[in-house]
Each structure stands twice: as C-alpha cells, then as structure tokens.
Amino acid sequence: MKIHKEGRRILFFTLLALLAINLLLYQFNEQGVGFNRVFSGVSVVAFLLLLQFFRSPYRNLLTHEDIVIAPADGKVVVIEDVHEPEFFDGVRKQISIFMSPINVHITRNPVSGTVKYFKYHPGKYLVAWHPKSSTKNERTTVVVETEAGPQVLFRQIAGAMARRIVWYVNEGDEVSQGEEFGFIKFGSRVDVFVPVDTDVKVQIGEKVKGGQTVIAQLKTPPPTLF
C-alpha cells in the first residue's frame, strides 16, 4: 500500500495544520483539557480518513483485448442503452460506477488502444447519482479506439464533494488497459459507453474493483487465417 501522488501535498499541509492547531490549544487553552483531548482525537480520525482516501493499493491487473475492465472501484449504478450525444451521437450501452468517499479514487483505462478524443468540461456539482450529472457536472470525456476495433468512451464525473478532476491522457496517446488515466478527489462517478451488442458481465448494485473486475466483453470479428 502506498499514498497516491495526488494526495501527498494535501496530506502534508493537513498534518501541519492539525498539529499547529492542537499545539495552540494545549498551550493557550489549559482550562479546556477535555475539549483539547476530544479535538485531538477528532484530528487523528480525520487525518486517517483522508489518508485512506488517497491510498493506492497494488492491483494484479487483468488485461485482454476484447474485455472491458472496471475503470474504478465502486458500485454499478446504471446499465442501460442511452443516446450518447457528445462523440457518437448514437445509441450506446452505458455502464456507470459510483465511487463513495471510502473507495480508492484512482481511475484506470478500461481498455487498451489509441485516444481518439479527449475533452474537459467545466460544470456543476450535482450529486454523482443524479441523472443529469453525466452531462451537467464537471467531467472529462475520453474515447479510445481499442486494439480489438470498437471504440469505448469513458467519462470521469465530479460529484457534490468532488471538486477537482485530474487526468493524465491526451488525444493521440497510446494507453494500456489498467493503467491510471486520472484521479477524482472526494466522491464521484465514472461512466463507460460501449456498443449496444456488448456482453455486460456485471449487474446493478454489484461492487467492482478498478483494473480487476471485467464489466463487459466486446463483440469482435473472429480471426481469419487468410
């Protein structure tokens, strides 16, 4: 287990601030010993919660050219055919994963291939399970042309608590399945859009692990010898 690079600065300055406040309390609030002890306990718990949020556990990644793996830890909240207007302008199957504040918030490439499209959208901060969060909230959209052929779109979506999305990919990049493509701070959601004939391997309410859980299998043409 290690701490993700996106959390190191936040953790460092949070630790300094909590230490300073506690030292000041014990120095200038000698009469409020009980309050000081309670605040110290709350400080420890708050820092540990922040620490676990930015954890980066080791993952034994699962890779294959015709499967789609979970891009993040969380719970499957949507599986449905929808009209995707931004890139495909057509019907695609949407699989959405909600990430609670206690989940690992690293986001990973669900497929390998070439980034054909990338765009960052500033926006609102509706709760991540709101139906309009996919089109109204702050978000990024990435489309990868897979090694197997089909194009897969995936989208980081900020939630009510998540106020910053970080990404590490750009158009033209070659990406590998399971590698990090970004990080969303403090609760969020990831949507994946695949062709409608894709075989979905998860169910609503199922908990998944980024880089390990197979969420779908793409329909690809059989190999030929000639």
Catalytic residue list contains 176: no
pLDDT digits (tens, 9 = 90+) for 149-203: 899 999 998 876 555 788 999 999 999 999 999 988 766 889 999 999 999 999 9
Sign, CA torsion 196/108/116/217: negative
pTM confidence score: 0.81
Last residue of a domain, one of 56, 75, 91: 56
Q: Are residues 28 and 134 in the same domain?
A: no
189, containing H or E segment = strand 188-194
Measured at the CA of 110, the angle between CA 109 and CA 112, to 5 degrees, comes to: 70
In a domain, 139, yes or no: yes
Q: Kindly give the parts of the chain with pLDDT less than 50.
A: none
Instruction: Name the active-site residue from 43, 96, 112, 188.
Output: 188
Domain ranges, residue 171: 67-217
Q: How many domains does the chain have?
A: 2
In a domain, 222, yes or no: no
Q: Are residues 71 and 173 in the same domain?
A: yes
